[in-house]
Structure 1
Amino acid sequence: MTARYWRAVLVLLLVVTGCDSSDSKGDAGAVEDGGPDAGPDGGSEDAGPGDAGTGPLACEKQHGVCAGAKRAMVDGAYEPECTARSYGADYESAETRCDGLDNDCDGVTDPSFTSRVTNLDTAYVNGLSILRTDQGIFVSMSNNGVRVLRLNTDLVLEGTATVSMPWTRKDVPVGVGYAAKLLRTQDGLALVYVTHGPSLRPPFRAYLVPLDAQGSPKTGPEGELLEFPLVDWQGDGRSPRMATSPQGDRVVVVWRTGTEQSPPFQVMGTVTDLQGQVLVAPKVLFTSPEGKQPWLSDVLVLRNEEVLVAVNEEAHAMGGDTVRLRRFDTHLDPVGDERSFELAYGSAPRLVELGAARGGPLESPVLLMRSRVGPPWVTQVQVVQNLFGGGMPQTWSEVPTPQIVWYGALADEGVLRLAWLSKYKDYEAPAPGGDSFLGWEGRLWTQDEGHASVDRSPTPDFLPLHTYAQWLLMEKLAPRRVGALYMTSTVEGSSLDAVRYCTP
């Protein structure tokens, strides 16, 4: 072969090799099979979990604390489904925290939770109170016998105890259970309950029953119920209210006495120790003028040991209310000047002690009232602060007439919190099941001091309510979480329902 032939072969090989090299690179800078600049089909960060040499996929949830989350690597492979490893320390599969974050990443921050606590035997319950201890949330309710419910901080029922009336345990005349209240004492949880004779006849009696950590009545050596008589009043007694001293060593009981047939109407008060030893014998605290009928509204023992009593005097024919307020010393003698407020009928006043965070013993109590103003007519919830320094009512919230407001209140580390039912009934509509006490409907609202009111109703539908759904209980459940208990009623019966919500 000639030299010219071999030179031609060499040129051909160089050309072929150059073409193969060019084809293997494709476009300048492109890299196949997972190079750092590859597209979605070439192993980018959006590649499926577990692909060797690829980045993680974005997690399924992308709201709230999950925003921007990508799959974490576990044992050398990316999570097939994101967990808290991927979402971070603030993530919860079901939100329980009140931290201002959307922890479960569903687009809702600090949601409310509603639940059914228990079914009720009747809608005609009284003796309603609520108190938290280290062992749980306790609720009292009575209907010719007292039940004490023990709930956990999710307001789930964990136990029930009962306190039967004296005539079911002793050889005493049959009476009627009238009121009950859970109180905190220096010896622990206690229940004070009140009875009277049939048809509100005498005698009027009050008893203290110590309760154990589970809310059950304590018993003596022979298994007998421990019970201490506090009041044995042989006249008529209505509208009782009870409170303990700041040290929990004394009990104050106040009540109304007198009728139109046996005037005058007066408010009585007494003080005992926890075993019923009388420290201050029953004495008159208020006497109402002719044409006014008093109803006890509330009693507080202030941090300086003074007793603060609020009385609501109703004029005849729903002519309006006069709310009277006065302090008494440890002997139940008057201290300072009385204050009074003129309001429309149905003022439903209530006292709340906000505690040392709001100042001294005379600065921290506040008065709450309902007032109907207009036109246009609305029902307002008003708060009076600085009660003994000339403070005047301030409007917190209002609903249009003919809605009716029934409210509860809570002092939470110096902050006042409210919850209420706004009720309405269409009297033109047929009564459910023919029961005229049914057919009310309403919404559940809450309001925290310094903030606007919030609708906490569980659904867009109105709550079915009974005529006697005239109460609402509030208690703090955990930091920044509050619970409210209320009653709903249908033709099937009545229930104790609850809402748990976060505070600002």
Structure 2
Amino acid sequence: MSPWGSVSLVVALLLAGCGSSSTSPDAGTQVDAGVTVDAGVTVDAGVTDDAGTVDSGVAEALPCERTQGVCAGAKRAMVDGAYEPVCTARSYGADYEAAETRCDGLDNDCDGMTDPATWAEVAPLGTPPTGSLVDSLPVAGGSLVVSVAGQDTVQIRRLDESLALQATTQVPVAPGVDPVTSVRLVRTSRGPALVYVGRYMSPSAVSQGRLVQLDEQGNPVGPPGGVVILEYPQFPVHAGVATSLDGQRLAVVWNVVTEDYRETQGLVVDADGKRLSGPWILFRTQEHVLLSTPAALALGDGGFLVMVVEDHGPESQSRIRLWHYNSELAAMSAERALDVGNSPTATLLSSAPGAGGTPGEPLLLYRETSARPHQLKQVRSLFTGGVPATLATASEGDTPWFGATMTSRGLQMAWLAVHSVSPEKTDDSLFNWEGRFWALGPNGIAADWSPGPGPMPLHRFSQWVLMQELPGHWMGALLMTATDTPAETHTLQSVRYCAP
């Protein structure tokens, strides 16, 4: 054999040996810095993905302390080579919260309650304000709440987005007012503003309405006492106010009562309070009826919807009257009347804006007391034949006192379902009333969000609800509870509830 043949044989044998001695990667071989591909070996900083198995030689993880809601079935996670002694979100998962803050349809803190409501006392109220003496307005980071205490004390409270009290401001009113008869908060092109109406006895008996500019914290700016925007030689006057969609104009409407007739009057001022048109007589009747609930609503065409309620007595029906006026309240283009049960506590809202930001349509909301049990109604297409639709029905024997607002998620409504504590009592005590808090969202399902199993103590003349949209699918509401035991107290209460 030649030398070259021997060399070829050696090379062939060497190549064959290399092919037969290959070695598979060993399980657990490190493939990245600090990370292994074998089950039971660290895959995250200090946390293992093995809950303990017979094969791994690690004891099986024990169940966590919490067993309800998103915690159901959770077992302890291993951290730094040992199981958590007390389970945290590492064990319970991403939906867990030690204190529930989310409105997501889950029991995040595993206490057996899903998205519970949160109640809190906001502030004491010196005297019980009626519905015409309270109002609220959203501002950046929270809301402003105005209320009247006594004859001439107007207070504005600044609340944050959790409805916690941040500050209280007393608004100076014009000297001599006795009493303030109505307050409303609006937003103009200049920012937040307060419109209040009061009775003045000197130098002559007159009712005046004044416009007070506010900053975003609720502090008055401009002339002390505000600018006079209406004056009428009669009292008391309760005014309804609406701001045009561009914030440049305010429509103010009020009712007038004389021996011979009843009237609804109105005027328009600019954002500084300067008179633009009116006062005009918007409606007159010679019937001896009680005109109540004067209100206005800005419309997409620049005009205003005006509403007034004719009450014909406690045993008779009421009539809700609606008119579509132009931007100066000088010409009417449409009207409608609806006969409803007594004391409908009607209110006006605009539906959510349409595609491209087009203004929403006007809505009428009211309480139908001729039905048993009482119902909450809505009417759309007000001047084109729209008919009332039932939104909710109160419990038998309860009277609903409601508030409503249009949110980014649609119509939100809440009410106090009220009844007398002792129906057989004849003294009609101011504190002989109690009720529960209910709310209705766009899903059409009413929920009882009362703070406990029993009803809340209420005042006869202060059964109102103010509503506020809050971040994260939450809604907020404000109401007043009242008691005369052991001492007479009136308390502004807040509730934060889930309304997806």
Residue number in structure 2 paired with 1:490: 483
- Quick one: which of 159, 170, 184 aligns to 1:162? 170
Pairwise CA distance, 1:268? 0.7
Distance 2:412 2:324 in 1: 24
Q: Specify the alignment match of 2:29 in structure 1.
A: none
Report the Cα offset of residue 183 of structure 1.
Answer: 1.1
Q: Which amino acid aligns with 2:440?
A: Q
Distance 1:137 1:360, change over 3 A: closer
Contact preservation (8 Å) 1:130, 1:140: yes
Q: Does 1:385 align with 2:380?
A: yes
TM-superposed deviation, 1:348: 1.3
Give TM-score scaled by structure 2 length: 0.82
Amino acid at match of 2:375: Q
Q: Is the 8 A contact 2:401 2:416 kept in 1?
A: yes
Q: Partners of 1:226 and 1:241 in 2: how far apart?
A: 19
Structure 1 counterpart of 2:321, from 296, 319, 324: 324
Q: CA deviation at 1:414?
A: 5.8
Residues 197, 237 of structure 2: 8 Å contact kept: no
For residues 131 and 255 of structure 1, the distance between their equivalents in structure 2, rounded to whole angstroms, comes to 21
Q: Which amino acid aligns with 1:288?
A: T
Aligned to 1:439: 432
Which residue does the alignment assign to 2:197? 194
Question: Aligned partners of 2:477, 2:407: CA distance in 1, in Å?
Answer: 13
Q: Which residue of 2 aligns with 1:228?
A: 227
Cα deviation 1:391-426 (Å, max 9, x = unaligned): 101112223564222110111126111111111114
Query: Any idea what SS the aligned residue of 1:86 has?
Result: helix
Give the Cα separation in 1 of the matches to 2:318 and 2:450.
31
Residue in 2 that maps onto 1:71: 76
Q: Deviation of residue 449 (structure 1)? A: 3.1
Matching of residue 175 in structure 1 with residue 162 in structure 2:
no
What are structure 1's unaligned runs of at least 5 residues?
1-35, 37-43, 168-172
Conserved? CA contact 1:403–1:423, under 8 Å: yes
Task: Report what 1:14 is aligned to.
Answer: none
1:121 matched to which residue of 2? 126
Residues 1:282 and 2:279 aligned together:
yes
Matches within 5 A, 1:6-155: 53-125=58-130, 126-143=132-149, 144-155=152-163
**What's the counterpart of residue 5 of structure 1?**
none
Aligned residue among 288, 310, 326 for 1:313 = 310
In the alignment, is the contact (CA less than 8 A) between 1:363 and 1:387 conserved in 2? no
Q: Distance in 1 between matches of 2:96 and 2:361?
A: 39
Q: Structure 1's 389 and 92: CA in aligned 2 closer, same or farther, altered over 3 A?
A: same
Shift of 1:338: 0.8
> Which sits farther off after the overlay, 440-449 or 56-65?
56-65
Match of 1:292 in 2: 289
What does the per-residue CA deviation read over 1:361-390, in whole Å, with 9 as the maximum and x for residues that have no partner?
78621101111235xx32111110121221
Write the letter of the residue equivalent to 1:105. C
Residue 413 (structure 2) pairs with residue 418 (structure 1): yes
Residue 68 of structure 1 aligns to a residue whose secondary structure is coil
Give the direction of change, closer, same or farther, for the CA distance of 1:293–1:104 in structure 2 (3 Å limit).
same
> What are the Cα deviations for residues 468-499 of structure 1, in whole angstroms up to 9, with x where unaligned?
13211111011311011111111131111121
Does the C-alpha gap of structure 1 residues 226 and 316 become closer, same or farther in structure 2, counting only changes over 3 Å? closer
Deviation of the 1:62 alpha carbon: 2.7
Q: Is the 8 A contact 1:60 1:81 kept in 2?
A: yes
CA–CA separation in structure 2 for the residues paired with 1:60 and 1:46: 18
- Pairwise CA distance, 1:345: 1.2
The answer on whether the counterparts of 2:194 and 2:211 sit within 8 Å (CA) in structure 1 is: yes
Decide whether the 8 Å contact of 1:358 with 1:364 is kept in 2: no
The secondary structure found in structure 2 opposite 1:282 is strand
Q: CA deviation at 1:104?
A: 0.8
User: SS at 2:70's partner residue?
Assistant: helix
Tell me by how many angstroms 1:106 deviates.
Answer: 1.6
Paired letter, 1:305: G
Name the amino acid aligned to 1:249: Q
Which piece of structure 1 moves more, 342-351 or 68-77?
A: 68-77
**In 2: Cα distance, 1:230 partner to 1:373 partner:** 38
Query: What CA distance in whole angstroms lies between the structure 2 residues aligned with 1:90 and 1:61?
Result: 14
Report the CA distance shift for 1:114/1:378 in structure 2 as closer, same or farther (over 3 A): same
- Alignment match, 1:471: 464
Q: Structure 1 pair 360/315, CA: closer, same or farther in 2 (3 Å)?
A: farther
Report the alpha carbon displacement of residue 340 of structure 1 after superposing the two structures with TM.
Answer: 0.8
Give unpaired runs (5+ residues) of structure 2.
1-39, 41-49
Contact 2:293 2:346 in 1 (8 A): no
Q: Which residue of 2 aligns with 1:333?
A: 330
TM-score normalized with structure 1 length: 0.81
How many percent of aligned residue pairs carry the same amino acid?
Answer: 36
Q: Which amino acid aligns with 1:311?
A: V
Letter in 1 for 2:398: Q
* Number of aligned residues: 443
Q: Which residue of 2 aligns with 1:349?
A: 346
- Following the alignment from structure 1 to structure 2, what is the Cα–Cα distance between the partners of residues 284 and 74? 77
* Alignment deviations for residues 295-324 of structure 1 (CA, whole Å, 9 cap, x no partner): 234211112211001110112464221100
d(CA) in 2 for partners of 1:287 and 1:389? 24
Q: Deviations over 1:232-283 (max 9, x none)?
A: 3334462211111111121111111122x2x321111111112221111211
Distance (Å, rounded) in 2 between the aligned partners of 1:349 and 1:361: 25
Residue identity matched to 1:225: P
Quick one: structure 1 residues 363 and 209, their matched pair in 2 at CA, closer, same or farther if it must change by over 3 Å? closer
CA distance in 2, matches of 1:95, 1:317: 46
CA distance in 2, matches of 1:428, 1:365: 38
Contact 1:181 1:192 in 2 (8 A): yes
Sort the Cα spacing of 1:279 and 1:488 in 2 relative to 1 into closer, same or farther, 3 A.
Answer: same
